[in-house]
Structure 1
Amino acid sequence: MDITLEKASDTNASLKITLTPADYKPEVDKKLKDYGRKVQLKGFRPGHVPASLVQKMYGKGILVDEINSMLSKTVSQYIRENKLQVVGDPVPDREQADAIDWDSQSDFAFSYTLGLASEFDIDFSDLPSVTQYEIQAGEAEIDSTIADLQQRFHTHGHGEEVSDGDTIYGELKAVDGEFSAKTAFPMNQMADDAKGQFIGKKKGDVVTFVLEQAFPDEKSRANATGVKKEEAAELTGEFTFEVDDITRHEPAELNQEFFDKVLGIGAVTDEEQFRVKVAEIIKGNYGRESAQLLRLDIEKTLIDNTPILLPDEFLKNWLLEVNEGKFTPEQIDEQYDDFTKSVKLQLIKNKIAEKADIKVEFDDVLAVTRVMVSEQFGFMGGEDEEMNKTIDRIARNYLTDEKNNGQNYTNTFNRVYDDKVIEYAKTQLTTVTQDIMVDEFKALVENR
């Protein structure tokens, strides 16, 4: 076998492979013998079909399959052993392949076009610093969060007059008809232009209104009248509603009962302590977003400061071919910049992993999956051996699920790999910590 790499430029090359009978004939002959033992042909006992007949019937197919298999392995092995930074897939010269005479040739020549990324290196000491934002909760953000919590842990109260957002209870009657029912009207389900007839009313007041104007859609009308949706469509015209009671959500008071509901019994004992805890919670919640923003900034810094040339024409043609008519050349052009950023980022991550000897083992993937299972199902392993076994079994089944061709394992592996590379990059880059208020951080994220 002869393999030659011919580089036309830093980003374009051809891989030429020549095969002789010594390369493929031993394996082809072995497979022909296997066929001879297994093939069943009328007039011959199993295993006694003449070799010449087996060759005539199956020889060409076995030869083609064996050479295709050999080419695939050879190309992959050559790229791997020579550490070629190939982007896209090797593209075979189809005209050359189609011209082969499989009946008479014994030597075969094949050619593949390769798209290469240019050589590059990463020196972390030359890269600019990245910013780690420490989120600080201001008084306004703490007040807003506490107000939201007070609404979430609301109590029920009774009002003297109907307000928007209340629920009013009373008797609903048709002006012309026999319909009558004790029911409740949620004001937030009522049409805006009908609310004025009810707002300000007190217990004992009677309102005359058109039902389908107050509740235009059949679902809200069904809720308001207590009948089935299909029956509600027929309830139209003037109705009266006598107000018997008015209920509303009252924000929870800032007391010990509220503190215990939000943070757990005895976590804090006064409002000052509660505000400190709320500030910590806000900081923790935004901490995850801050970590994600740092990750994006690290990736952007790596891309922006690592010059890499790509075979643009080759990649655009390759994208058109592999997507089989799903995109036009114009659409490829529109999305090409984003595509090349992802390609360069992956090349950079691979280079970092190679230089830092970063590896991902099965146990790494399993550990991350076990955490995912625990969080998803609310399992708490700890010292519970049986629970740990259950978590482990579910995690392994997820990773080895054959229904999606190992995609679960691949996706989790890639995530662990990326996390390891980024964590290593954090240790090598200069990180500047900057305090930032929540509102400023929100604006920063939106602008990014």
Structure 2
Amino acid sequence: MEITLDKHSANQASIKIKLNEADYQPKVDAKLKDYAKKANIKGFRPGKAPAAMIKNLYGTSVLVEEINDILSSSLNDYIKEQSFKILGDPLPETKAAEAIDWKNQKEFEFAYKIGFVENLDVKIDESLKATDYKLEVDKKAIDDAIQNIRRQYGKMTNPEVSQENDFLYGDLKATDGSYEQTLSLPLSKLDGRSLKKFIGVEKGAEIEFDPSKAIKGDLKEVLNVSDEDASKISGTFTFTVQNINRTEDADLDQELFDKVFGPDQVKTEEEFVEKVKEILGESYDRETKVFTEEKIKDLLVEKANLDLPEEFLKEWLRKANEGKVSDSEIEKEFPAYVKQLTWSLVSNKIAEENEIKAEHEDVVAKTQDMIREQLASSGLGSQMEDNMDMFVNNYLQGNDGQNYMQILTAVQNDKVLDFVKEKITLKEEKLSVDKFKELLEN
């Protein structure tokens, strides 16, 4: 057997494997002998069919199978010996393979295209500078959160006269008769001029307006209608009020405290405010941690400055997805894929050089945190804790083991980022909620 590497560029190459008869024939002969012992062919007693007949019946398929096994193991072993990091999987060059005469050839040559990176150098020290974002839990944020809670737990009423922020339920009709729909109109989504028409009205009132101009935002989302209906809602319409719906804010009393935090967990308005502030702080910390770490990833990806074999990777993505992804979709998603691939290479390199490993116990702990968060959001947190081991095992064993590998990778990435944050220069920057939203939008 002869294996050679032909580098076409700094990140693409071909691997050629030449096989002669001595490389595969002993295995083929052994497999055919095994077939002969078990073969049940009409006209012959089991295991007594002539060797020539067995070879004629099974020789080619056994040859192909054995050569494919040899190619797979030899290629994998060869790649493991190299200093470079292969990307994706080797792609067989099919033209030469299609021309093989399996019945008569004795020597075979196969070629594979590969993409790779080498000399990946990731320097982690104080010269790398990043920002550690922290959100300030200011009075406005606390007041807004409390207002949202009061609204969420408030009671629905049906007043006689409309006010700002009410929902009007009624019939929307085009004046030319081309469209009619009964729906709920949120007054908070109307522009200032149009809003005046809808404030102070009673049931049965009929208001004329152009929804496409009066409504702020996407008509489909605001009115909860289909794309087709949204395209028709333009021009002069009338809205006839059938009902007025208003949510009255819940009082800041023990009933609200118990509903939000559980019986007797909070007993005064001051304790309620402090609890909201604490939860906001924890939420902000999670959000800013994710944002900070994404910026650090961006910094490391930029510093790595990897030259990736883009055409090879696009071809590999097409074949790996077996035609399920179009060329246009690959082009659209490719920048994000390249960023994620580069980060994966950088993260693995840092982990390897600094002996950072994700242990099984870490995987279980992270999965527990994930499940607790999901249960808490559904209001089932504490009462399901006794079944946590079952939830964790079911999740980690699911999806043919891919769930476990995804959590394992996530744990390693977390450890790598913790390591990086200790080594680089992190400057803390405190932000208001509004400023943080601007950063997220940009």
TM-score range, shorter chain: 0.7 to 0.9
**Alignment correspondent of 2:363:** 365
Q: 1:415 aligns with which of 407, 410, 413?
A: 410
Structure 2 distance, partners of 1:79, 1:120, is 17
The answer to whether residue 19 in structure 2 is matched with residue 19 in structure 1 is: yes
Give the Cα separation in 1 of the matches to 2:344 and 2:90: 18
Contact 1:316–1:332 (Cα < 8 Å) also in 2: yes
Segments of structure 2 that go 5 or more residues without pairing to the other structure are: 169-182, 207-239
Q: What's the offset of the Cα at 1:282? A: 1.8
- Distance in 2 (alpha carbons) for counterparts of 1:167 and 1:315: 52
Rounded Cα–Cα distance in structure 1 between residues aligned with 2:371 and 2:266:
32
Q: 2:342 aligns with which of 337, 341, 344?
A: 344
Letter in 1 for 2:136: Q
Give me the whole-angstrom Cα distance separating, in 2, the residues matched to 1:55 and 1:332. 46
Q: Partner of 1:277 in structure 2?
A: 275
Deviation at 1:99, TM superposition (A): 3.2
Offset of residue 121 of structure 1: 0.7
Aligned pair partner of 2:435 in 419, 437, 440: 440
Give the secondary-structure state (helix, strand or coil) at the position aligned to 1:162: coil
Q: Is the 8 A contact 1:134 1:435 kept in 2?
A: yes
Distance in 1 between the 2:329 and 2:255 partners?
59
Equivalent residue letter for 1:19: L
Change (3 A) 1:167 1:433: closer
Q: Structure 2: how far apart are the matches of 1:16 and 1:75?
A: 9
Partner secondary structure for residue 122 of structure 1: coil
Q: 1:400 matched to which residue of 2? A: 397
**3-state SS of 2:104 partner:** coil
Could you list the per-position Cα deviations for residues 18-72 of structure 1 after superposition, in whole angstroms to 9, with x for gaps in the alignment?
2233332333223212211222100111122222211111011111111112212
Please tell me the root mean square deviation across aligned C-alpha atoms, in Å: 4.0
- Give the equivalent residue in structure 2 for 1:123: 123
TM-score (structure 1 length as normaliser): 0.73
SS of the residue 1:115 aligns to: strand
**What's the offset of the Cα at 1:141?**
1.9
Q: Residue 158 and residue 55 in structure 1: after superposition, are their counterparts in 2 closer, same or farther (change >3 A)?
A: closer
Other-structure match for 1:143: 143
Paired residue for 1:301, among 299, 302, 310?
299
1:132 corresponds in structure 2 to 132
| CA-to-aligned-CA distance 1:66-101 (integer Å, 9 cap, x gap) | 111221222122212324311232122323323333
Counterpart position of 2:179: none
Aligned residue type for 1:294? T
| Native 8 Å contact 2:126 2:425 kept in 1 | no
Q: In structure 1, what is the equivalent of residue 161 of structure 2?
A: 162
Q: CA deviation at 1:329?
A: 6.0
**Which residue identity is paired with 1:436?**
L
Kindly provide the CA deviation profile for residues 279-327 of structure 1, in whole angstroms up to 9, marking residues without a partner as x.
2222222222111101211110111111211223433444455556666
Cα distance in 2, alignment partners of residues 396 and 301 from structure 1:
36
CA separation of 1:156 and 1:68: change in aligned 2, threshold 3 A: closer
1:71 has 2:66 as partner: no
Identity %: 38
Do the aligned residues in 2 keep the contact of 1:120 with 1:307 (CA within 8 Å)? Answer: no
For residues 324 and 157 of structure 1, what CA distance do their matches in structure 2 show? 56
Residues 199/412 of structure 1: CA separation in 2 closer, same or farther (3 Å cut): same
Q: Distance in 2 between matches of 1:90 and 1:107?
A: 22
Q: TM-score, normalised by structure 2?
A: 0.73
In 1, Cα distance between equivalents of 2:146 and 2:205: 39
* Alignment correspondent of 1:314: 312
Contact 1:118–1:310 at 8 Å: present in 2 too? no
Q: Name the amino acid aligned to 2:49.
A: V
Task: Please give the alpha-carbon distance, in whole angstroms, between the structure 2 residues aligned to 1:279 and 1:62.
Answer: 71
Counterpart CA distance in 1 for 2:285 and 2:50 is 75
Task: Give the letter for the 1:163 counterpart.
Answer: S
After superposition, give the CA deviation of every residue in 1:112-150 in whole Å (9 maximum; x if it has no partner): 222122422111116522222221122222222222222
The answer to whether the aligner puts 1:355 opposite 2:353 as a matched pair is yes
Q: Is the 8 A contact 1:137 1:283 kept in 2?
A: yes
Counterpart-to-counterpart distance in 1, 2:18 and 2:129: 50
Structure 2 distance, partners of 1:431, 1:133, is 10
Paired with 2:184 and 2:332, the residues of 1 have a C-alpha distance of: 49
Which residue is equivalent to 1:35?
35
CA distance in 2, matches of 1:61, 1:362: 43
Question: Gaps spanning 5+ residues in structure 1: where?
Answer: 169-185, 202-206, 211-238
2:42 and 2:360 map into 1 onto residues whose CA distance is 51
Q: Aligned in 2, Cα 1:364/1:53: closer, same or farther, shift over 3 Å?
A: farther
Displacement after TM superposition at 1:396 (Å): 2.8
Equivalents in 1 of 2:355, 2:199: separation in Å? 72
Q: Which has the larger radius of gyration?
A: 1
Instruction: Name the stretch that deviates more: 148-157 or 66-75.
Output: 148-157
Task: Give deviations 1:141-198, integer Å, cap 9, x for gaps.
Answer: 2222222222223257796x53347799xxxxxxxxxxxxxxxxx99699x99x9899
Are 2:153 and 2:256, in contact at CA under 8 Å, matched by a contact in 1? yes
CA change 1:381–1:13 in 2 (3 A) is: farther
TM-superposed deviation, 1:359: 3.0
CA separation in 2, counterparts of 1:109 and 1:158? 82
Specify the SS of the correspondent of 2:304.
coil
3-state DSSP class of the match of 1:15? strand
The structure-2 alpha-carbon separation of the partners of 1:196 and 1:29, relative to structure 1 and needing over 3 Å to count, comes to: same
Preserved contact between residue 301 and residue 342 of structure 2 (Cα < 8 Å): yes
Q: Provide the aligned length of Structure 1 versus Structure 2.
A: 387
Distance 2:156 2:334 in 1: 57
Deviation at residue 344 of structure 1 after TM alignment? 1.6
| Alpha-carbon distance in structure 2 between the residues aligned to 1:200 and 1:98 | 79
Cα drift, residue 417 of structure 1: 3.3
Q: In structure 2, give the amino acid aligned to 1:23.
A: D
1:424 is matched with which residue? 419
